[in-house]
């Protein structure tokens, strides 16, 4: 790949080669990127398919880099993350245009996603500098106690090389420089990334930005590699490599579960942090539905159809109690969905699966198609659909609770609060659960909250789930199958915890202690000293 700068923007020429520890590798076998708006190949030389030797080389480089990268001064690690953000920003329209071509997503969406990507890199740079993530705890010795109390000091250390799988629906924010990579690198873990085959050119541009940042800041180039390919065998080989110590994945339930099985079957099992499947229930309580049903209908349809419904937080399930207010809401939803324009989906395969899911729902005896969007003008577009059924039917038919990835959702009519609670109690784990309520609904909401806390990683009041703020308090996770580990999040600064483990040092001489345990850590980092939190 070659590059130059024009008006502060980096212009890159794609080569289709792999990145392994700062070096470019080609291969005899290549694949083409496809334009989802036409299903035709994007003209270019094609992208190299990683072979077993490439996986081995990338993991070997990551293992070698770990000893150096994990022990760099925190300031240097933070500057590297900021340099990554600067380099990705400098790609400007080159990156946006390529991502548009490979995903069919609109320019405005991708411009915003680029901002989110660089924003979370800069946020993690702040986290690294702060140092609190090290979890420092110090229990000073007491030789006069019986028995004598030892000197105990704890910090968290990086796990080791991490495999990161790029997601199809977020080619930037959940891809090779997305949240998994940002949090792993912040923790001190090298990353071997598997690019998603749907947007290889986008991944190559971002990989080039990462390597330029490494060169500018002097971090070891082995801390990042990019492997491309179209087969499941590549992912299996990467997760199976004994040098990989954790996995970050965003994708389908089938894909996440497959990687979990591979990781568990290793001689040394490793954690897989997989964000997989959710239908994200939205509950419309009676007073809110009565007072603002039309506005809720418009917002609901907007949330369902945003980005062709290709969000892991898409509101796939709406619950409300029977009555005139629900009938009025349903009528308004039907009117709104009929106006929804058809959209291009991310890939041919995703579009086909979505169409099959709609057909299966339409064929269900006790499920009604409430409304469908404007008919597609060509075979590369898909139209949204919203269905309706009863709570009794939903609870006896498990298939209705499965995610149909795309602009699809089901409205479920409940007889009363008890039935609504029963339905919620029977749901699988979710990323989000939302309550729309007025003050008169607070009593009902209070009864539902304990159930929702058990079922979801984020509980939303009077909002829609399609929007995930990157912040210190965000949880983008939830009980299985929303994620593989309900204690973790893939968005927000808490994500760094996935790639750290605690180590206790007992009675070590001060000369051998890590700096943060010997009173030489960053100013302002919080510490637990003899049971008291101090700064």
Catalytic residues: 275, 312
Q: In what order do the strands lie in the sheet with 408-414?
A: 368-372, 385-390, 408-414, 317-321, 281-284, 430-436, 456-461
Q: How many CB atoms lie within 10 A of CB 298?
A: 15
Name the strand (E) or helix (H) holding 31. strand 30-31
Which residues are registered as beta bridge partners of 386? Answer: 371, 409
Q: What secondary structure letter does DSSP report for 223?
A: G
Count the helix, strand and coil residues of the chain and give each as a percent rounded to the nearest 5: 45, 20, 35
- Quick one: 52 exposed, middle or buried, by C-beta within 10 A (0-12, 13-18, 19+)? exposed
Please, are residues 142 and 149 in contact by the beta-carbon 8 Å criterion?
yes
CA angle (413 as vertex; 411, 416 as ends), nearest 5? 145
User: Rounded to the nearest 5°, which phi and psi values hold at 25?
Assistant: -130, 140
- Separation of alpha carbons 314 and 15, rounded Å: 36
- Separation of alpha carbons 315 and 300, rounded Å: 8
At what angle are helices 253-265 and 232-240 packed, to 10 degrees?
40
Q: DSSP for 500-532?
A: EEEEEEES--GGGS-GGGTT-S-TT--EEETTE
């Amino acid at each position: 790949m070659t590059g130059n700068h024009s008006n502060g923007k980096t212009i890159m020429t794609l080569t289709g080669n792999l990145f392994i520890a700062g070096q470019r590798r080609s291969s005899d076998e290549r694949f083409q990127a496809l334009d989802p708006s036409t299903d035709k190949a994007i003209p270019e030389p094609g992208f190299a398919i990683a072979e077993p030797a490439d996986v081995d080389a990338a993991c070997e480089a990551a293992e070698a880099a770990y000893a150096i990268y994990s022990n760099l001064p925190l300031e240097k690690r933070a500057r590297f993350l900021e340099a990554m953000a600067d380099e990705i920003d400098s790609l400007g329209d080159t990156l946006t245009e390529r991502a548009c071509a490979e995903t069919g997503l609109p320019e405005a969406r991708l411009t915003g996603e680029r901002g989110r990507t660089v924003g979370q890199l800069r946020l993690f740079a702040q986290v690294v500098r702060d140092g609190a993530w090290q979890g420092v705890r110090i229990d000073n010795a007491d030789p006069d106690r019986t028995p004598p109390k030892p000197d105990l000091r704890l910090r968290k250390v990086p796990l080791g090389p991490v495999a990161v799988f790029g997601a199809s629906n977020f080619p930037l924010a959940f891809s090779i420089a997305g949240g998994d990579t940002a949090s792993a690198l912040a923790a001190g873990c090298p990353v071997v990334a598997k690019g998603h085959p749907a947007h290889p050119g986008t991944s190559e541009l971002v990989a080039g930005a990462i390597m330029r940042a490494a060169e500018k800041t002097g971090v070891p180039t082995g801390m990042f590699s990019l492997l491309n390919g179209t087969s499941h065998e590549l992912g299996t080989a990467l997760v199976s490599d004994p040098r990989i110590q954790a996995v970050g994945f965003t994708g389908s339930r089938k894909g996440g579960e497959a990687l979990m099985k591979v990781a568990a079957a290793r001689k040394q099992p490793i954690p897989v942090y997989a964000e997989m499947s959710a239908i994200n229930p939205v509950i419309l309580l009676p007073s809110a539905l009565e007072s603002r049903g039309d506005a809720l209908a418009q917002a609901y349809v907007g949330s369902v159809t945003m980005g062709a419904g290709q969000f892991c937080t898409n509101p796939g399930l709406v619950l409300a109690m029977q009555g005139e207010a629900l009938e009025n809401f349903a009528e308004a939803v039907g009117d709104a969905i009929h106006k929804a324009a058809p959209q291009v989906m991310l890939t041919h395969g995703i579009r086909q699966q979505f169409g099959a899911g709609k057909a299966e729902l339409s064929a269900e005896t006790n499920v009604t198609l409430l409304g469908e969007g404007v008919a597609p003008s060509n075979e590369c577009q898909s139209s949204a659909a919203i269905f309706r059924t009863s709570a009794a039917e939903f609870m006896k038919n498990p298939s209705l609770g499965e995610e149909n990835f795309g602009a699809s959702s089901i409205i479920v009519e409940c007889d009363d609060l008890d039935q609504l609670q029963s339905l919620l109690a029977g749901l699988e784990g979710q990323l989000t659960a939302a309550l729309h309520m007025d003050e008169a609904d607070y009593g009902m909401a209070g009864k539902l909250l304990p159930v929702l806390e058990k079922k979801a990683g984020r509980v939303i009041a009077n909002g829609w789930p399609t929007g995930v703020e990157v912040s210190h308090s965000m949880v983008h996770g939830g009980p299985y199958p929303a994620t593989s580990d309900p204690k973790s999040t893939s968005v927000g600064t808490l994500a760094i915890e996935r790639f750290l483990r605690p180590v206790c040092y007992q009675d070590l001489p001060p000369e051998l202690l890590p700096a943060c345990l010997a009173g030489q850590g960053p100013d302002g980092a919080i510490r637990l000293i003899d049971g008291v939190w101090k700064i």
